[in-house]
Amino acid sequence: MNGLAISILVVEDEAQIRKFLRLSLEANNYIVHEARLGEVGLELCATEKPNLVILDLGLPDMDGKQFIMRLREWSGIPIIVLSVRADEVQKVAALDAGANDYVTKPFGISELMARIRVVIRDHGEPVSTQATFDSKGLRIDYAAREVSVDGHIVHLTKKEYELIRLLVDAPGQVLTHQQILRQVWGPAQQNETHYLRVLVGQLRNKLGDDPSNPRFIITVQGVGYRLAIPIALQGSQ
Ligand code: CA
């Protein structure tokens, strides 16, 4: 697929199945991340941003439906559920909660691979088709992860870069404190609004943005932040 590596997160508590999936997926050139627990899986969704999640419905720390509902609060990453044959009700509940497809255990690897291809084709978010963002003197080169303001390169930390990307990817849309915290820090930190305040301050400083007369980042009091966008872009979303 465009020569881009596709990464898959396997959330499964049985070590043997995890190992089997890792070997099979890697043999098909996928990058594999693994989690034994749901909590860890949710963290990895935020930090590794996999293209797809393969989820066992019976986990030690939460049931699969819970996992899906929590993930769907902030992410549309496609999910394929691994269910046990007798678990019709659980399977339907998983689909209702937002899973994209399911495979019944025991499953054949070729069946699973076919499901993965279909789900990625239908639901995989296209990697940004534009190579740069350019507006009001703010320029972002996505491939180089390079940000400049009025032609001057600004050196951002990883989190500062992630924050500006989030805002730029949703032009004009208000992103709540929790949405940003989950995306940049992970679900466990979603209530640490002071982290975000500090980060926004740093980013504004580096971009030379004045919060009382914002050129790039607008504070939505008590709610979150949004990108200040030129009139021409408004309503075109
Ligand atoms: Ca299990």
What spacing in Å lies between the alpha carbon of 55 and ligand 1's midpoint? 9
User: Can you give the pLDDT at residue 85?
Assistant: 67
The alpha carbon of 82 and the centre of ligand 1 are apart by a number of angstroms equal to 9
Class of domain 7-128: alpha beta
> Looking at residue 130, what is its pLDDT?
61
Q: What is the pLDDT of residue 234?
A: 44
Q: What does DSSP assign to residue 131?
A: S
* Distance between Cα 63 and ligand 1 center (Å): 9
Split the chain (237 residues) into runs of 10 and give each run's mean pLDDT: 76 96 94 96 91 94 91 87 79 83 87 89 59 87 86 96 90 82 89 94 96 92 82 43
Task: For residue range 94-125, list pLDDT tens digits in order.
Answer: 888 888 888 888 888 898 999 898 888 877 55
Tokens of 127: 């990697």
**Residue 36 CA to ligand 1 centre (angstroms):** 9
Is 132-235 in the same CATH topology as 7-128? no
Could you please state the CATH topology (level 3) that the domain comprising 132-235 is classified under.
Arc Repressor Mutant, subunit A (1.10.10)
Compute the distance from residue 62 Cα to the ligand 1 centre, in Å. 10
Domain boundaries, the chain: 7-128, 132-235
The pLDDT value given to residue 35: 97
- Which residues neighbour 201 within 8 Å (Cβ) at sequence distance 6 or greater? none
